[in-house]
Structures are given as C-alpha cells and as structure tokens.
Structure 1
Amino acid sequence: MTVKSLAVLNKSYKKRVPCEMKKEQTRLFRQLPSGLNMEVIEQKGLVFADKKIIETQEAAKRTRLWFLFMEVIICSVLGSVKMFTTKKKIQKDKDAEPTEFEETVAQALFDLENSNSDLKSELKDLFINSAVQIDVAGNRKAIVIYVPYRLRKSYRKVHLRLVRELEKKFSGKDVVLLATRRIVRPPKKGSAVQRPRSRTLTAVHEAMLEDLVYPAEIVGKRTRYRIDGSKISKIFLDPKERNNTEYKLESYAGVYRKLTGKDVVFDFPVTEA
C-alpha cells in the first residue's frame, strides 16, 4: 500500500470515529437504569458506566428497601401489642373506642403492672372504664379515672399506692378514682317499676363524694344557704388522713363542681388543744 493510500485511509478513519463515539455513547446511556446516581467515567473519548458502582448502588438500594420493609413490620407488630395491652386495661360501655388520653392512662396502668412488683398481683385483674382530665383551681389539672363498680373494693386495697405511682407518671396532676355509677330517671306515675335508692341523683352524688376523698372519711357536713337561693356545702374530713388528702382539697372541689354542678368546700374540723 502506498503512502498516499495510507493518508486517505487515515483521513476517512478520523471522520468516522466521532460518529462511532456518539453511537456508543447513546447505546450506553440507553442501557443505564433510570433514577440511579452513577459515576460516569470518560476515558479516551469513550463514555461508559462503571459496572462496580452500579452493582454497589443497586445492592444499597435493595438494603434500604429491606430495612424499610422491616421497619414497617416492626411498627405494625408494636402497634398491635400496644393496642392489645390498652384494650386489656380499659373496657368501655358498648365497645366504644377509647380516646387518646384514655389509652395513655391504660398504658400507664399496664406499665405499673409489669414494672412494679408490689402492685403486679393486685393490678393483674383490674381495668378501668374511662378517664378524663379536668381543669381545677391554680392552673392545675386533675385526672378522674372511672373504675367498674364491682371492682371498687379491689381498687381501694391498692388506692394509696396506685394513686401515688400514677401521680408520679402524670407529674403535676392530681389523680382521683371514682366508681362508675348510673343515675336512673324517676319512674312515670302509675308505673309498677321501682327505682333503686342507689340509682337516684342524690345517692349517686353522695357516693361520689365518698369515692372522691378516699381514703379519708367524711366526718361532718354543713350546708349554707345564700340570699340568692344558692347553697354551698362544707365537707369535713377525718384529720387522720390529712397528709394524704390535704394537698388535693382544691382539686376535690373542682372535680365535684365539674361533675355535679354543686359548690362544695373541703376542710378538716378544728380540734381543741
């Protein structure tokens, strides 16, 4: 082959190389998976993807997806366990769904049952019906927990210890336990149905007073009638339980007023020296 022929061939090759490079570049980019951040290396005019980087990033993507899947599974299982423990410690009438606050109280009871060895056996078979939070004097809040009437004696056995532990969990809030009672309307005239004395409005409110101040006992009552026709009752408590109840007297009054609409004042009788 002559020198002239070599020169012509080299010239035609130089014109053909850029075209081949563009085709190779297009083919490579079409083969790249979409959505992946890959390092593209340019060497000797050719563009190609580093296969090791692609494989590494695909493996990392699979790992992230696996961890995300496991996180969803774990959260689902933990949520189911929490729901089960909550339903175990709260049973509402007519299978109503508990509120978020009621679930918090039920979870606190469950935690005490499993973490406090002194209360574990007593709390094992106990549950609540409902719970509400009430604003009382002094920008304080009180937590009212309704317990089944048939379990009120069991709750009274652990009342002091349970209330003390709950007030630690709900710092700055006073906790009171009330038995769930139902008020029945008076029967119609001529009806043969008789209303139990314990289901009247007066009886339920009186029983609520006793639950509210427990473990203190009510040793005296005084009712004062105002000029405008309203009245206020003064409830005297047993001084023996002063240390356990004195700091909650305002909360007692606020809770009772909120639940019954009646004004009461709690105090201890003055003892002569």
Structure 2
Amino acid sequence: EIEVSGNKKAIVVLVPVPSLAAYHKVQIRLTRELEKKFPDQHVVFLAERRILPKPARGSRLGQKRPRSRTLTAVHEKILDDLVFPTEIVGKRVRYMVGGNKIAKVLLDSKDSTNIDYKLETFQSIYQKLTGKQVVFEIPSKTL
C-alpha cells in the first residue's frame, strides 16, 4: 500500500515475472473487481524484478550481468507495467537548472478514459519505487 496524495492510497500487487503475461490477460477485469472491493484506492500490478549490482572493475568471477537486471532496464519495465492497458507513445527528459531531471511520459490517447483519473497515482507510485520524478500526460489529438 502506497500513500498517493492526502488521504488517497494505492495498492501495488507484485507478481512473479514468469506469470506476468497470464496476469495481463485478466488484469483489466481483476483491477476493476479489486477497486470495487477497496473504494478510494487504485490497484496496480507490477512484476517483481531484481536489480543486480554493477560488477566491480577487478572482479571477473561469475557470469555477465544480463541487461534485464540493470537498474535502467528494471525502471523502464516498471514504467511499462504501471500503465499496462495503455502504451507509452513517447518520453521526454527535462533537465532543470539545479541538475534535477523530470521525465515526461506520453501515453496513448485512445485509452484516456480508462486511466485519466490514475495519472497522479502512477506518478507517486513510480516516485516511491524508483526515486525518479516523472509526469504522465495524455497528448490531445491534433490534426
């Protein structure tokens, strides 16, 4: 359970990575049912991923660290899992004067009705799990 804003909370369900595909098939229905059971709380499914430390310069023991276990790859996958029914259509990184970075994530506008009310929840969950600031936006369709 993660505190979102004020009195709102979000429930994060951690799922083993091998069974994530099976959860994706029923995730929309499962989320809807759980949100009925827990009113005023958003439910999010994330894969339980492991980050392996960067190998030290002198150590040549063991195997090479796979890309899927790096910090960057795990944070990218958390972002994908977080917004699952929709897709990420773009990312922008904004560098502030003080050295801070804010990632701006653009989501697919066709699913905007399903996730529009959850954007603040996504933002605070990602901040709590990774320590990175992110802003989710749904671009308006312009012709």
TM-score using structure 2 length:
0.95
Taking the TM superposition and a 5 Å limit, the aligned residue runs for 1:30-69 are none
RMSD of aligned C-alpha atoms? Answer: 1.0
Contact conserved, 2:109 with 2:140, CA < 8 A, in 1?
Answer: no
Taking the TM superposition and a 5 Å limit, the aligned residue runs for 1:78-97 are none
In the alignment, what sits opposite 2:33? 165
Q: Which amino acid aligns with 1:152?
A: L
In the alignment, the residues of structure 1 paired with residue 111 and residue 16 of structure 2 have an alpha-carbon distance, to the nearest angstrom, of 25
Q: Compare the two structures and name the one with the higher helix fraction.
A: 1
Q: Which amino acid aligns with 2:141?
A: T
Work out the percentage of aligned pairs sharing the same amino acid: 55
Q: Compare the two structures and name the one with the higher strand fraction.
A: 2
**What is the CA distance between 1:138 and its match in structure 2?**
4.5
Taking the TM superposition and a 5 Å limit, the aligned residue runs for 1:223-262 are 223-262=93-132
Work out the number of aligned pairs and report it. 141
Taking the TM superposition and a 5 Å limit, the aligned residue runs for 1:193-232 are 193-232=63-102
In the alignment, what sits opposite 1:175? 43
What are structure 2's unaligned runs of at least 5 residues?
Answer: none
In the alignment, the residues of structure 2 paired with residue 249 and residue 138 of structure 1 have an alpha-carbon distance, to the nearest angstrom, of 15
In the alignment, the residues of structure 1 paired with residue 91 and residue 57 of structure 2 have an alpha-carbon distance, to the nearest angstrom, of 33
Contact conserved, 2:109 with 2:141, CA < 8 A, in 1?
Answer: no
In the alignment, the residues of structure 2 paired with residue 187 and residue 239 of structure 1 have an alpha-carbon distance, to the nearest angstrom, of 40
TM-score using structure 1 length:
0.50
Taking the TM superposition and a 5 Å limit, the aligned residue runs for 1:16-31 are none
Q: Which amino acid aligns with 1:243?
A: T
In the alignment, the residues of structure 1 paired with residue 92 and residue 98 of structure 2 have an alpha-carbon distance, to the nearest angstrom, of 18
What are structure 1's unaligned runs of at least 5 residues?
Answer: 1-132
In the alignment, what sits opposite 1:186? 54
Taking the TM superposition and a 5 Å limit, the aligned residue runs for 1:95-106 are none
In the alignment, what sits opposite 2:139? 269
In the alignment, what sits opposite 1:9? none
Larger-Rg structure: 1
Taking the TM superposition and a 5 Å limit, the aligned residue runs for 1:117-196 are 133-190=1-58, 191-192=60-61, 193-196=63-66
**What is the CA distance between 1:244 and its match in structure 2?**
1.3
